Structure 1
Amino acid sequence: MNRHTSAALAALSLLSVTALTACGGGSDSDAATDDPKASASAPVSEAPSPAERLAATIVTKADTDGFEVEEPDAEYAFAKSTDEVTVDKPACAPLAYAMNQLPLGTPEADLTRLTSGPTDAPTKLTKGITFTYVTLASYAPGKARSTFADAREAVDACGDGFTAKANGNESPYDTVTAEQVTPAGDESLGFTSTMTFRGVQHVLHGAFVRSGDVLATYFSVDGMAIANGRPSDAKLSPTVVKAQNAKLVAGSGAES
């Protein structure tokens, strides 16, 4: 399982548009303003890149009322890319990626954050901390819609479970079922999965939300419960999901 580590998050500034107005009342100034060539030479602000757009949209600590928001430790990742993952049932691959913080399909950019908390939760020491992972992926026009459709097909097709393997590690999932989630974005879909580790069952929860050409994937797990052989039911954090969905919709400029 991924280890909770501290990481400083860098702030990313996006380009802003500055309105330029002509001043002066002489005939030369008026002529320059009316000259198409002069207007064409005015500076034009560049649109943010997919990576910049995600950096501005990903949830932060300031958005989540006391939750820690960090970059996951890549050293403990199940796989560093989808190329390293094999699934015994190919249709279930989107779920294998979603539950291991990997982007679905072929995004132009992706970004993942690990959230936990709140840090003053009274049950923190006795019941462990539920981690909610957030992965945002930006796609070329139309690709997010088809990627979401693949995720929906995976939930429908993988009810009796599947097994994912990567780098000598194996993750068997016993069942997958659709789960009701609060509607968000252009499309949203929740799912529940169960897994058995050392004879103990664990319930995992996830969700997909598409807003324009950006797809958000949520996944929750109680890593300490799994490590300590204690049954768990790791639900998604409503605080984190609500905050991320709000930023996702606010930052979406694409049509549904």
Structure 2
Amino acid sequence: MNRGTKTALSTLTLLALATLTACGGESNSDADSAAGKPETTETAAKQPSPAEHLAKTMVTTSEVNGLNVDEMDEEFLFAKSPNELTTDKPDCVPLGLAMNQLPLGDPRADLTRSVSGHIESERKSGNSYTYITLTSYASGGAESALADVKKAVEKCGGGFTAKSKEAESPYDSVTAEQVTPAGDEALGFRSTLTVRDVQHVVHTEVVRSGDTLAVYFSVDGMAIANARPSDAKLSPTVVKAQNAKLA
């Protein structure tokens, strides 16, 4: 997405604890226990951190039919952290975060990628980008964060304005929409915004799989920059591939 669009928008591996026993005769529990300690310690040391888990879970270019999966360019971020984003209606903060690639709730780790390019069967989506934000939580955190999004969709139908240090993004409306069932629970919503008297539609989907959330967001940045109406659909290929890795 070029600079012109900036002001417009902007879990874990289970440990297998090995119990070593003698191959013959009576087992010596003290010896067995001592022999097992190095193995347990070594296994625990290999447990991935939340950030490492997300890095392994994020889709790659080869998994999305050759679309480009890229790191985010911080220069064009609406805000660099959740603390930098505010809304004129406090209930709508979760929506502002979700639509600006910022983690929801109280995460242990988060990772965002932008996916661009074309798949012939999806060209109706125009030149839209699909953004993926994966977030890992302590037990119960993902459920709580998703619940906050649901409440926000219900309360912010009339729109709201998101603000950061350098940008402002007014959304005219927010409407819940059906999405393909995925993970443990999923929800979707569409938002409209008007830029230079031209209306644009963006789409967001949030999927929870255990203690991990995947937030998908789509926007046609070129259409906004060039004052062309747009309705940026999420790429089904991207969403399906990422949900499969979360399962």
Q: What range is the shorter-chain TM-score in?
A: 0.7 to 0.9
Query: What percentage of aligned pairs have identical amino acids?
Result: 60
Normalised to the residue count of structure 1, the TM-score between the two structures is 0.83
Judge conservation of contact 2:2–2:222 (CA < 8 Å) in 1.
no
CA distance in 2, matches of 1:159, 1:169: 22
1:1-256 alignment, distance < 5 Å: 35-43=32-40, 44-46=42-44, 47-118=47-118, 121=120, 129-249=127-247
Are the equivalent residues in 2 in contact too, given 1:128–1:224 (CA < 8 A)? no
2:238 is matched by which residue type in structure 1?
A: V
Q: Which residue of 1 aligns with 2:7?
A: none
Displacement of 1:180: 0.5
Contact 2:201 2:230 in 1 (8 A): yes
- Report deviation, 1:121: 4.7
Cα offsets for 1:158-206 (capped at 9, x unmatched): 1000001111311000000001000001110000000000000000001
Q: Kindly report the root-mean-square deviation, in angstroms, between the aligned alpha carbons of the 2 structures.
A: 2.9
Contact kept in structure 1, 2:108 and 2:136, CA below 8 Å: yes
Please tell me whether the aligned partners of residues 105 and 147 of structure 1 are also in contact (alpha carbons under 8 angstroms): yes
Task: State whether residues 158 and 172 of structure 2, in contact with CA within 8 Å, keep that contact through their aligned partners in structure 1.
Answer: yes
- Alignment-mate amino acid for residue 148 of structure 1: L
Whether the 8 Å contact between 1:32 and 1:38 is mirrored in structure 2 is no
- 1:224 Cα offset (Å): 0.3
SS in 1 for 2:39: coil
Q: Distance in 2 between matches of 1:137 and 1:166?
A: 21
Distance 1:15 1:56, change over 3 A: farther
Report deviation, 1:63.
1.0
- Normalising by structure 2, we get a TM-score of 0.85
Return 5+ residue gaps in structure 2 as ranges. Answer: 4-12
Counterpart position of 2:10: none
Corresponding residue SS for 1:215:
strand
Letter in 1 for 2:36: S
Aligned length: 235
Alpha-carbon contact 2:20-2:32 (below 8 Å) kept: no
Q: Decide whether the 8 Å contact of 1:2 with 1:72 is kept in 2.
A: no
Would you say the 8 A contact 1:33–1:39 is kept in 2? no
What amino acid is aligned across from residue 172 of structure 1 in structure 2?
Answer: P
* CA shift in 2, pair 1:18/1:139, >3 Å: closer
Tell me how far apart the structure 1 counterparts of residues 140 and 17 of structure 2 sit (CA, whole Å).
31
Residue range with higher mean Cα deviation, 221-230 or 31-40: 31-40
Structure 1 distance, partners of 2:97, 2:197, is: 24
Q: Which runs of 5+ in 1 are unaligned?
A: 4-13, 250-256
In the TM superposition, residue 38 of structure 1 has moved relative to its aligned partner by: 2.1
CA–CA distance in structure 2, aligned partners of residues 105 and 122 of structure 1: 36
Looking at structure 1, the residues matched to 33 and 99 of structure 2 have their Cα atoms a distance apart, in angstroms, of 54
Amino acid at match of 1:41: P
Q: Distance in 2 between matches of 1:244 and 1:227?
A: 28
Structure 2 distance, partners of 1:35, 1:204, is 60
Residue-by-residue CA offset, 1:20-62 (whole Å, 9 max, x unaligned): 9899x798xx769963222233344122111111011111111
Q: 1:238 offset after TM fit, Å?
A: 0.1
